[in-house]
Structure 1
Amino acid sequence: MKFILTVFIIMSSLQMMSQKKGSFVYNRTPLNDVIIELEKEFDIKLSFNSELIENQFVTFQSEDALLESVLNAIEGQTNIEFFKVSERYYILKHQATIDLTTTQKLNEVVVNEYLTSGVYKETDGSFVISPINLGILPGLTEPDVLQSLQLFPGIQSPSETASGLYVRGGTPDQNLILWDGIKMYHSGHFFDMISAFNPYITEEVNFYTGGTKAKYGSRISSVIDITSFNKIPEKIEGGAGFNMLHADFYIKVPVNRKIAIIGSVRRSFTDAFKSITFNNISKRIFQNTKISDGKKIFQGRGIDFLTERFYFIDHTIKTIIKPDDNNKITFSNIYNRNELDNEFSGQFDQSISDNIDINNRGSSVLWNHNYNRTFSHAFQAYYSNFDLDYSGLSYNENEEVTLYETIKRNMVHDFGMSFDTNWKINKKSKLGLGYQLSSNKIHYQLEYGNQVKNNVFEVETFIDKHSNNSHAFYSDYAYKNSNKLTINVGLRANYISTFKKFFFEPRLHLNTQITPCLKFKSSVEQLHQEVSQIVEFETKDFGLENQIWVLADGVNIPILKSFQLTGGFLFNKDGWHIGIDGYIKKVNGITSLTRGFDNNEENKNFFQGKSDVLGLDILIKKKIDNYRTWLSYSLINNRFTFKEVNEGYPFPGNFDIKHHFTWAHSYSWNNFNVSLGWNIRTGRPYTRALNVVKAENDFGTKYTKINSNRLPFYNRLDVSAFYKFNLSSVKNKWNAKIGLSILNVTNTNNLLKRTYREFDFVDQGSTNTVFQEIDKFSLGITPNLSFRVKF
């Protein structure tokens, strides 16, 4: 009888354990954290290799889930399979094949790949990019953090640069770029042709174009929140590689189970070796600038002295300390530098030199603490320093004015701290409260001097210094009822010391399931920005880096105010993904200094106005086995209105790209991947000058109506391919990748910008002024080869 009773108790216990249910809410939660919770919740043991679950995330929500349901959901979203050894023990193994690109529905689990692998769209409207897992993109053999964003609908780069991102009609300085919580004021190398962030130590990029969380402030266009590696590895890991522009190296070192150090360094070798890739980029950057003009002056005359040095370097170091399961402390540091030295000396007592040094460095500390499963806090402090230093010199012994010298400096010191609390009220609701302090000091200095023959050197100096302290109090509330309804409500109150007043920023994002395949989403937000860039005209002849950071003062530089309303639909079924977004965006406080009008006599005057943007973004994507294709289309109508310009009537904004069409393809076969992409868009608007605009004592119309003309259509075809292979007989010990990309395969001569230059000439005793047309063209056909090793 005792034996029968014992067997009955054991069987009943096993049955109860197998039927035990739990409540779970995961939103791209690391698989390692999910496993820890499952072991505690169901009293089971999961055996696995730690490398197997790296960079794996799970999205799952259920109030009454069985263990089997949770494991099935994980298998549907990862490349993991669970093998049951006993009622309590499981083994995790790698699946033979897994398709993460198809929308899957398992117990209310929906997994959406947005463009390619490594790009996901969250229920709060944001995008998540994992550079390590990023699939191949046209024109890129390496996952450039900022260039990857340009394939999103509504994101444009009219200047054909990596960091020149115009998000839904906004300008690049209106994008909040964070690296481990550090505000970045310079985000490009080679005058913004590539991004300044090493993708191989980047764990995740969170990208917001609307419905921004209330913890983000100080910019009105978008948020690009970059997080570097944030986990303690079990063993030393690293990688190295090079392409035709630079080489890089990174390493992750676990000091012990609680401490790790992660470092990276990347440097161009263009000051020692000039590849075809670099030569093409240089030609694109320096065309029609003081540097290219200087080379023309000395062409054929002989050069006694020549210096050409153009390079960049960036490096990072991060320390992770995790003393226990409830605490994590990280220390992050980043440094990037761009330097240009160009000097020419001729045989006829002539010399020209241009030197520019741009630095952006920053540090941050972050402490995360979990009090329990429902309440946590995060404390962060950061410091960011931007420094631009330019000096230009022109000397000609044979001219009346023998010496021209220009010195320009722009410095930003930004210190801040924040304290966030997060409270999981119940299974459906979360509440976040926080405070932020930001202290900015911005300095601008311009010295412009000249020397007349046999005379003293005269210098004119302009200095501008401002400082501001901002205090922000904010709250975020999130409600999620399975996948049927998601609501995020936020409110941010900014106190800006320069204006001695509060600015309030309400935000709302709604996501609701209409049918199993169709979702509706909408967002509304109001934002403010007190730090922005203006056009500096005095050194415009240099042709590069003529925008400087300034603080709003309420007089010449008003605070920027933005209101944005969006609405759209998402459709997912049978490998099809269709997204439609419409939006209205209104910005007040733009000036002719922040968005200077090219070639207009009024461009140096101060005018204040507004911008009205009406846009539509469409994305259609389909995956068939290992083949992906997507079409994106953006319609943007961006109108400026200035009371004193164009008789007060609206006119096209300086970067009003009305139609932008992208068609991309990618295909993978075994370890080989190839991608092809075609971009076509309308040209930028510009103001056309007349051939002869005035004769002596006879002033006429200089230009047509502002921005009333357009450049021709832009058309570019890019291709890229890479092949992965092992260098070691031990699988996944030494992995390698070789890649090739070709930008502008058809070598199309796209016109990016048109400006005019005045010069006078004497004809039959009369002085006449004419305009020389200056065109800036796109990058020509440009190949790039890369090779990488990971260990």
Structure 2
Amino acid sequence: MKHKLTLLFLLVSFSMLSQERASVSYLNIPIAHVFLDLESKFNVKFSYNSKLIGEQLLTFEAKEITLEEVLFDIEALIDIRFKKETERYYTVQKIKNRSVTDTQHLEQVIVREYLTSGINENNDDTSIMLSPEKLGILPGLTEPDVLQSIQLLPGVQSPTETASGLFIRGGTPDQNLVLWDGIKMYNSGHFFGTISALNPYITQDIKLYKNGTKARFGNRISGVIDITSDEDIPQKITGSTGFNMTHTDANLKLPLGEKAAAMVSARRSLADVFETETFRNLSNRVFQETKISEGNKVTEDDEVTTTKDLFYFNDFTVKAILKPNENNTFLVSNLFTKNKLDYGFLIEAYDEASQDKLDIKNQGSSVKWKHCYNDVFTHEFSAYYSNYDFEYTGINSIPEEFSNRLNKQNRVEDLGLAFDSNYNLDSASTLGFGYQFSSNKVNYALSFEDSESPEDNYTEFNFKTNNNHAVYGDYKYCVLDKWLLNFGVRANYFSVVDKLFFEPRFQLETRLLPNIKFKSSIENLHQSVSQVIEFNTQEFGLENQIWVLSDGEDIPVLRSFQVTSGFVFDKSGWYFDVEGYYKDIDGLTSFTLGFDNIDDFFSKGKSKVLGLDVLVKKKIHNYRTWMSYSLMNNDFTFNTINNGYAFPGNSDITHHFTWSHTYEWKHLEFSLGWNIRTGIPYTKANGLIETSGDPIIDFEETNGARLPNYHKLDISATYSFNFSKNERWKGKLGVSFLNVYNQKNVLSRKYEIAQSTEDDSLVLREINKNSLGFTPNVVFRIDF
């Protein structure tokens, strides 16, 4: 079936018509003359204030390109933004006070389409930029999910099949720095990570760094995901609203005169109002093999009655934008996300009642002042506050017999201040420097009360504070599409271990031939806060990771050293990107990684990651296809595990291949993608070993076996239309199908000792968690 669908998609794609295209070539041409040329070639009109646009010169060349692609590239080169008012008319706005840390700097930047429209490579710092507003359709997605879109990039994987569980080149999700308007995010997922907690419809840009991170980013050793919400002042009230089969949302942008604006947004799940097929499938995927799905049965024949079933998630944002003049911008951003679960059941045969309550909140605020003294010197002052609050309560009781209660809390308070500046030495050289301070308070508490066995009661508590002082400087030398040299150094002081850590960073890109570019980077990174596995609430089966601070002993400061090198070939619509990398991570603990077959949770170790990422892309008019392949060898070494020999890491995916297609025809967009990868390692069990006490599991070599290969096919399509003749009100209808041929993929495998269903003996039970099955979804949106 999958082969027929692929063939049908390709046949339909090539049979469709393409949009109007033209070739353009400008060499130091005034922008006003460029507008006249584009109006002639594409039969459009531009409305703008000539005094605001000024006499800026543009250098740009492209063959057989659409109008939308031309406009996007122009936005990257000069400080203007285009607004499509009708099919033919566009308004042009001047962008004032672009931040010194922005990725687009006047004529020193070339932004090229990396995968599809809205996903581009930024030659200013080699980050990958995603613009949800311009993002083309992607396989299995009808909406521009902030985190799921990133997973189509080579080197980014999600072995857990979630939106927030991003493993970037062998790093774990907690090793990624996720920023929303400068606010550090400690929980970026809804519904246990299946949906991004970050609203894409208010997001302006997303920058992803897999390597070569700038010196201003610190305290994480893997990737950086820097998300900024809309900073433009609209000329009129704009917004959008919509729903899909999991949640509904709305956002509004309000101009408060010519110099100020406010933006609000909100999303909420629909599960507690009505249940859809999409949500049922997600629920089956999330809750499988947990206390909730199993009902805490003693035997398979036990009858379980659900007494309470409440689950919902929501998020909202509020932002104020003030631009009193051309040299100053003030931004105030606020974010709140919440996930709540309250589930109870009763085993009637024993009158045994159980209840699980879970609350996860992440809220934050940030303030920024951007000031431009002149074309040479600019600076930015910023402050943020982030608060992560996790609370779980599990209760189990039989009247007049016993009652036990388990509580878990995990809180993170993060307060930070920063000063960042930029000084342009000349047209090609830039010097940046800054200071950052953050105070990180991490609190963890676990308590258990058992009425039958008070001697088993316990309370665990841990509270630490880390004050981080950091100074950094970097130098950039950039010659348009020829040379890029970034050299930076960052010095971090972590009070929790009373040590100073230096982080040199180096990045080079140079064009060897007209169509071949060489790139390389070296960086050293450190991290003082991370997540560890908490084993006491494993019966609940969900959210058993907690944030903790390093103590320099049981949980050391994480360190990563990474070297990358590769080539890019770009010619005649073909794009090849090959990059190899080596990453050495030290400071891992077995407690952090949560192995099933060891007793010493605090064994220390390290990992070595050797990998290769390949991207091949071809664009033929409105049809795009790209293939990405990742080869990775991720080995762990722990002195007390596997006799000290190296073994495959928990998320070691040796081969990962994706093949995607997109096609645009008038108001229709289609996308199809196939995903196949190696199964992750697991520790196989042979059976039980009888002892004088309880039996124990006989495990084989640590991570010596692998799950079956993972593969699936995703399809999506959207149709855009107008509600009114003046195109003031627009709509979009979309449909997607995940795992079209309903492949049963195994995501994880572990073992437990269970009671036999035939007698009172104990047996070994294999527990598999499977991927999401065939899942449809529908989206409807209105923009105004």
TM-score (normalizing by structure 1): 0.86
Please give the alpha-carbon distance, in whole angstroms, between the structure 1 residues aligned to 2:285 and 2:709: 18
Shift of 1:306: 1.4
Please give the alpha-carbon distance, in whole angstroms, between the structure 2 residues aligned to 1:233 and 1:568: 41
| 1:336-735 to 2 correspondences below 5 Å | 336-347=337-348, 348-397=350-399, 402-452=402-452, 459-598=457-596, 600-602=597-599, 604-694=600-690, 696=692, 702-731=698-727, 733-735=728-730
Alpha-carbon spacing, 1:537–1:71, altered in 2? closer, same or farther (3 Å): closer
CA contact (8 A) 2:711 2:743 kept: yes
CA contact (8 A) 1:80 1:95 kept: no
Question: Which amino acid is the alignment partner of residue 430 of structure 1?
Answer: T
Partner of 2:22: none
Alpha-carbon spacing, 1:637–1:350, altered in 2? closer, same or farther (3 Å): same
Alpha-carbon spacing, 1:67–1:280, altered in 2? closer, same or farther (3 Å): closer
Does residue 248 of the first structure (1) align with residue 249 of the second (2)? yes
Larger radius of gyration: 1
Alpha-carbon spacing, 1:51–1:265, altered in 2? closer, same or farther (3 Å): farther
Q: After superposition, what is the alpha-carbon deviation per residue over 1:141-196, rounded to whole angstroms, capped at 9, x for unaligned? A: 00000000100001110000000000000000000000000000000000000110
Shift of 1:605: 2.5
SS in 2 for 1:594: helix
Shift of 1:396: 3.0
Q: After superposition, what is the alpha-carbon deviation per residue over 1:288-325, rounded to whole angstroms, capped at 9, x for unaligned? A: 00111117569876666611111100000000011100
SS in 2 for 1:418: strand
Does residue 78 of the first structure (1) align with residue 65 of the second (2)? no
SS in 2 for 1:285: helix
Shift of 1:626: 1.0
Alpha-carbon spacing, 1:268–1:783, altered in 2? closer, same or farther (3 Å): same
Deviates more, 1:287-296 or 1:161-170: 287-296
Count of matched residue positions in the alignment of Structure 1 and Structure 2: 718
CA contact (8 A) 2:122 2:129 kept: yes
Question: Which amino acid is the alignment partner of residue 78 of structure 1?
Answer: V
CA contact (8 A) 2:598 2:641 kept: no
SS in 2 for 1:132: coil
CA contact (8 A) 1:617 1:635 kept: yes
SS in 1 for 2:569: strand
Identity %: 50
Partner of 1:259: 260
Shift of 1:527: 0.1
Question: Which amino acid is the alignment partner of residue 679 of structure 1?
Answer: N
SS in 1 for 2:509: strand
Please give the alpha-carbon distance, in whole angstroms, between the structure 1 residues aligned to 2:163 and 2:694: 45
CA contact (8 A) 1:80 1:93 kept: no
Alpha-carbon spacing, 1:690–1:483, altered in 2? closer, same or farther (3 Å): same
Please give the alpha-carbon distance, in whole angstroms, between the structure 1 residues aligned to 2:110 and 2:239: 33
Alpha-carbon spacing, 1:721–1:23, altered in 2? closer, same or farther (3 Å): closer
Does residue 783 of the first structure (1) align with residue 776 of the second (2)? yes
Please give the alpha-carbon distance, in whole angstroms, between the structure 2 residues aligned to 1:373 and 1:662: 44
SS in 2 for 1:233: coil
Shift of 1:771: 1.5
Partner of 2:167: 166
Shift of 1:530: 0.2
Deviates more, 1:657-666 or 1:700-709: 700-709
Alpha-carbon spacing, 1:72–1:616, altered in 2? closer, same or farther (3 Å): closer
SS in 2 for 1:131: coil
Alpha-carbon spacing, 1:108–1:396, altered in 2? closer, same or farther (3 Å): closer
Shift of 1:49: 3.3
SS in 1 for 2:539: helix
SS in 2 for 1:615: strand
Shift of 1:22: 7.3
Please give the alpha-carbon distance, in whole angstroms, between the structure 2 residues aligned to 1:699 and 1:457: 24
Shift of 1:79: 3.9
TM-score (normalizing by structure 2): 0.87
Question: Which amino acid is the alignment partner of residue 279 of structure 1?
Answer: R
Deviates more, 1:495-504 or 1:170-179: 495-504
Alignment equivalent of 2:766, drawn from 758, 767, 773: 773
SS in 2 for 1:389: strand
Q: After superposition, what is the alpha-carbon deviation per residue over 1:2-34, rounded to whole angstroms, capped at 9, x for unaligned? A: xxxxxxxxxxxxxxxxxxx9799xxxxxx99x9
Alpha-carbon spacing, 1:94–1:241, altered in 2? closer, same or farther (3 Å): closer
Shift of 1:81: 13
CA contact (8 A) 1:440 1:469 kept: yes
Alpha-carbon spacing, 1:457–1:591, altered in 2? closer, same or farther (3 Å): closer
Mark the runs of 5 or more structure 2 residues left unpaired by the alignment. 1-26, 36-44, 75-83, 91-106
CA contact (8 A) 1:79 1:94 kept: no
Question: Which amino acid is the alignment partner of residue 461 of structure 1?
Answer: T
Alpha-carbon spacing, 1:67–1:458, altered in 2? closer, same or farther (3 Å): closer
Shift of 1:345: 2.7
Question: Which amino acid is the alignment partner of residue 668 of structure 1?
Answer: E
Question: Which amino acid is the alignment partner of residue 70 of structure 2?
Answer: T
| 1:59-78 to 2 correspondences below 5 Å | 67=57, 78=70
SS in 1 for 2:685: coil
Question: Which amino acid is the alignment partner of residue 358 of structure 2?
Answer: I
Alpha-carbon spacing, 1:67–1:205, altered in 2? closer, same or farther (3 Å): closer
Alpha-carbon spacing, 1:369–1:498, altered in 2? closer, same or farther (3 Å): same
RMSD: 3.1
Q: After superposition, what is the alpha-carbon deviation per residue over 1:596-616, rounded to whole angstroms, capped at 9, x for unaligned? A: 112x032x5310000000000
Partner of 2:239: 238
CA contact (8 A) 1:162 1:194 kept: yes
Please give the alpha-carbon distance, in whole angstroms, between the structure 2 residues aligned to 1:366 and 1:134: 27
SS in 1 for 2:726: coil
Question: Which amino acid is the alignment partner of residue 256 of structure 2?
Answer: V
Alpha-carbon spacing, 1:308–1:194, altered in 2? closer, same or farther (3 Å): same
Partner of 2:15: none
Q: After superposition, what is the alpha-carbon deviation per residue over 1:531-579, rounded to whole angstroms, capped at 9, x for unaligned? A: 0000001111111000000000001110000000000011111111110
| 1:22-61 to 2 correspondences below 5 Å | 48-49=46-47
Alpha-carbon spacing, 1:698–1:281, altered in 2? closer, same or farther (3 Å): closer
Please give the alpha-carbon distance, in whole angstroms, between the structure 2 residues aligned to 1:494 and 1:80: 38
SS in 1 for 2:643: helix
Alpha-carbon spacing, 1:495–1:108, altered in 2? closer, same or farther (3 Å): closer
Partner of 2:18: none
Shift of 1:758: 1.3
Alpha-carbon spacing, 1:149–1:69, altered in 2? closer, same or farther (3 Å): closer
CA contact (8 A) 1:589 1:609 kept: yes
CA contact (8 A) 2:250 2:266 kept: yes
Please give the alpha-carbon distance, in whole angstroms, between the structure 2 residues aligned to 1:80 and 1:93: 16
CA contact (8 A) 1:753 1:777 kept: yes
Alpha-carbon spacing, 1:93–1:183, altered in 2? closer, same or farther (3 Å): closer
Partner of 2:742: 747
Question: Which amino acid is the alignment partner of residue 519 of structure 2?
Answer: K
Does residue 737 of the first structure (1) align with residue 732 of the second (2)? yes
SS in 2 for 1:281: helix
CA contact (8 A) 1:80 1:94 kept: no
Partner of 1:3: none
